[in-house]
Structure 1
């Protein structure tokens, strides 16, 4: 369960509601697994008051994994991209080790199934160029390793020859599919966010298609 509040006072009120509900229904929260993270607006206050759950102070962290996606205090996506880059490297090495003797067609099927997911890449709107480059290079190297291609062969050429989408094409496809689902959602908040011109994630989605179409 996640609680969101614009202030510490509001968060304390939400936690009080949770405490009363748990007490009335014979439940108990695990305070050791409860954490708090602060998203600052501008500089924000220097001293952050403690927040308690059942009389125990809640641990404050600078990053938190929610539904597999790493959130950070500064709202940057570098750590989540690194998480996915490492996961991609593990999957690639596993495929190369277990299926080294398979046919190229079988390897292509495995590559599409295991190396093109880029979990939550639709949300990577605030990341450095080096972070984005690292996962793109990892994707290219994963294909080279699995297909036993030369280390410095052309990435665009090898994907074109095999009719496999490159990194940018995979991201564009996932962004477009995700954006379409949100715009068709019955949730009014999601629909408004998907079309708000000031939404930074929407700007990222548009930039993904605009910038890559220029290449």
Structure 2
């Protein structure tokens, strides 16, 4: 436990979440690049799949190495770079699957699975962004001199037993989940423009995934039944 605490519990959780995001996005990349949807994807996306795999796993190995060495600051900066890449990859996945909709009927089930993988990736990626922009972040200690990005109920009132409460990664995961499926804030309100723009982008991506990709796949499945 001392080994884990010295390197940051939240950092360990975030690195593990990035491993999970990589696995989810790898499933989408395979499906569109080489799997059942490859014949319906008109772009050159499939040619780039090996490079995407190599870059993702290279980033993960670097993240794991920095965490093991206890290089918190370098790890935090690398997490920002890696999550920016995962965000770009998510946008490319959305565009690629929208292109697939034209020849959908014979591959609707695969597209529906990819929409689910993309939705979960969206939730995890933006939960990391929320953790990054809101103090205490990497330090894991309350910082009174930095403005909050989110107003949690525990921060906004004097609740019993929460005087020294500070958000952890699980709190940002909850924000990512509710924004993903409610398309709006729930218990934690965004305070900064950065937080608002991140929630706006996540909600917009989620709307496209749910209404455009998943809805189109369900219609195709119903129509082909």
Bin for the TM-score computed over the shorter chain: under 0.3
Structure with higher RCO (Cα < 8 A, 6+ apart): 2
Normalising to structure 2: TM-score of the pair?
Answer: 0.25
| Larger-Rg structure | 1
TM-score normalized by the length of structure 1 = 0.26
Of Structure 1 and Structure 2, the greater strand share is in 1
The structure richer in helix per residue is 2
